[in-house]
Structure 1
Amino acid sequence: MVRRFDLTGADGVRLAAWEFADPPKGPGDDGTEPAPGVLLLHGLMGRAGHWATTARWLSERQRAVALDQRGHGHSDKPSDGPYTREAYVADAAAAIEQLGLAPVTLIGHSMGALTAWQLAAERPDLVRALVISDMRASALGAASQREWESWFRTWPVPFATLADVRKWFGEDDPRVERPNPARGEFFAEVMTESPDGWRPVFSPQQMLAARETWVHDAHWDTLAQVRCPTLVVRGLDGELGRAEAQEMVRVLPHGQYAEVPDAGHYIHYDRPDAWRTAVEPFLESTTP
């Protein structure tokens, strides 16, 4: 059964969180103690639903909740933000506390992974373990932000049909090197129907505002402050290179490394079975 929770984030922003399966009974003879908690954080332009498959197998042993972060999914999209790192980290902390998930395992993809490790460094009392999926610690720089601005301008919005969305993002998007149906499906999930066609549920301007707050800086110092066990996962064809991923593991006090072959940036969505194979042993070793 899918459950939605309405939470209050930083600055009173309303956040939507989702459980995609019933959690198991907790420890103890009567099952009254809560099961260990997991919070799943999507990346820029993502939504909680992208974690549905992962959340369902996690729910065999833990209580897994996925958060629609501010500006995304069913959460509020305030026109004046803020879309800062501080706001995203505070939202995640608020979700953990209001849902009673602490000490939690944080699993974050891309921007969500950065939020996860910044929260783990800032609030170690809330976090038991951490999974970082395809997120770099190095600065991406101004050129990267300009490329994203140009990319958004290439979107043929509105799309006439969802089939057009799938084809464009899976085949015709200038960023696609070879056909990727999973990528097309990923973006189809973040579209909503309007009178003139299909448009993203998010504002590209707000996405750029969120990105602006972290692409110019490196995040190695914060990474080094993470004290909990941490798994760094990269897709072989993703955006995080092997050398940088291994350096991230070296910098982390308790870092481990996993690699998923034939996966791009959206590892958990591209290759869900291989993703599970890569992360499940780590989760089993860090879950009471």
Structure 2
Amino acid sequence: MVRRIDVTGAGGVQLAAWEFTDPPKTGGGLEETEQRPGVLLLHGLMGRAAHWAGTARWLSARHRPVGLDQRGHGRSEKPPEGPFDRAAYVDDAIAAIEQLGLAPVTLIGHAMGALTAWQLAARRPDLVSALVICDMRASALGAASQREWTEWFGTWPLPFTTLADVRTWFGEEDPTLERPRPARGEFFAEVMAESADGWRPVFSRRQMLTVRESWVHDAHWEELAHVSCPTLVVRGLDGELGRAEAQEMVRVLPRGVYAEIPDAGHLLPWEQPEAWRRAVEPFLHAAVPG
């Protein structure tokens, strides 16, 4: 079962949160679910909370998983002028934790969502019990990376005629792909909406570049070092986070743990869902006794 809960984020921006619940077997209903340890799931750039449905399904046996459509994404507000800086995203996540009564919360973040998660954990350790970082680098990516993204957005053959075309292009024909990745095609199909002339993304590509601009030029090691809770760093063998950097992140973290998933790229929770679960679930059992 999934229910939408509206959250008021920083500056009054309206955010959509989605609670994924597994009906309690004891008959306790919603009240019992809300007593379980909270988990806030934070998607990456261009993602949406719905992407976490598979992860939330197994989390809900012991936890109260909530996915947040972050500003500019999914069903949340997309303010024309933002702000889309790091502080806004962290403040939004704090608002969701406090308004939904999730603290002390486990934060699970993918890419941009992972950065938001560890910045929040560093700033408000009182709110966070554990952290999972999925394929996000702590080092600066630089101006060249931003130029590559700008050029990549320009290659999108919009509008797509059908969702099948979306799946094919992002999973097989995207010029950035080295080999087919069907899970990637499904991932992007989830963030498309039908319009009068075909299928287009639910987000603004211009806004996504603005969001990304707020972190690519800076390194984030200092904030990582201030994360005091147990933290799992997970990477796909073919992901964007390299092994050496991931292991250095674990070394910098006061309570860091490392996991690596073979035959997976940047979208590892969706490319290898069972291996992702095997990496994350034992960590949560140890870090957050339920």
The TM-score by the shorter chain falls in which range? Answer: over 0.9
Residue in 2 aligned with 1:20? 20
Structure 1 letter corresponding to 2:128: V
CA contact (8 A) 1:157 1:198 kept: yes
**How far has the Cα of 1:44 moved from its partner?**
0.1
Distance 1:102 1:22, change over 3 A: same
Residue in 2 aligned with 1:115? 116
In 1: Cα distance, 2:16 partner to 2:25 partner: 24
When normalised by structure 2's length, the TM-score is: 0.96
Distance 1:23 1:230, change over 3 A: farther
**How far has the Cα of 1:22 moved from its partner?**
3.1
Q: Give runs of aligned pairs for residues 22-101 of structure 1, distance below 5 A.
A: 22=22, 24=24, 31=32, 34-101=35-102
CA contact (8 A) 1:137 1:248 kept: yes
In 1: Cα distance, 2:24 partner to 2:40 partner: 15
**How far has the Cα of 1:19 moved from its partner?**
1.7
CA contact (8 A) 2:20 2:64 kept: no
**How far has the Cα of 1:2 moved from its partner?**
1.2
SS in 1 for 2:228: coil
Q: Give runs of aligned pairs for residues 195-274 of structure 1, distance below 5 A.
A: 195-274=196-275
**How far has the Cα of 1:175 moved from its partner?**
1.1
Q: Does 1:281 align with 2:282?
A: yes
- Which segment drifts farther, 48-57 or 13-22? 13-22
Residue in 2 aligned with 1:9? 9
Q: Which runs of 5+ in 2 are unaligned?
A: none
**How far has the Cα of 1:88 moved from its partner?**
0.2
**How far has the Cα of 1:82 moved from its partner?**
0.4
CA contact (8 A) 1:157 1:199 kept: yes
In 1: Cα distance, 2:59 partner to 2:208 partner: 29
Structure 1 letter corresponding to 2:126: D
In 2: Cα distance, 1:87 partner to 1:42 partner: 15
Residue in 1 aligned with 2:161? 160
Distance 1:283 1:24, change over 3 A: farther
Q: Give runs of aligned pairs for residues 189-200 of structure 1, distance below 5 A.
A: 189-200=190-201
CA contact (8 A) 1:39 1:67 kept: yes
In 2: Cα distance, 1:222 partner to 1:21 partner: 32
Structure 2 letter corresponding to 1:231: L
Structure 1 letter corresponding to 2:123: E
Distance 1:17 1:23, change over 3 A: farther
When normalised by structure 1's length, the TM-score is: 0.97
**How far has the Cα of 1:24 moved from its partner?**
4.4
**How far has the Cα of 1:144 moved from its partner?**
0.2
**How far has the Cα of 1:48 moved from its partner?**
0.3
**Identity over the aligned pairs, expressed in percent?**
77
RMSD: 1.5
CA contact (8 A) 1:37 1:101 kept: yes
Residue in 2 aligned with 1:188? 189
In 2: Cα distance, 1:277 partner to 1:46 partner: 23
Residues 79-111 of structure 1 show CA distances to partners (whole Å, capped at 9, x for unaligned) of 000000000000000000011000000000000
Residues 220-253 of structure 1 show CA distances to partners (whole Å, capped at 9, x for unaligned) of 0000000000000000010000000000000000
In 1: Cα distance, 2:15 partner to 2:125 partner: 23
Distance 1:23 1:69, change over 3 A: farther
Residue in 1 aligned with 2:134? 133
In 2: Cα distance, 1:101 partner to 1:19 partner: 11
**How far has the Cα of 1:269 moved from its partner?**
1.0
Residue in 2 aligned with 1:177? 178
Residues 178-198 of structure 1 show CA distances to partners (whole Å, capped at 9, x for unaligned) of 111110010000000000000
CA contact (8 A) 2:33 2:64 kept: no
CA contact (8 A) 1:38 1:62 kept: yes
In 1: Cα distance, 2:33 partner to 2:164 partner: 46
Q: Which runs of 5+ in 1 are unaligned?
A: none
Structure 1 letter corresponding to 2:269: H
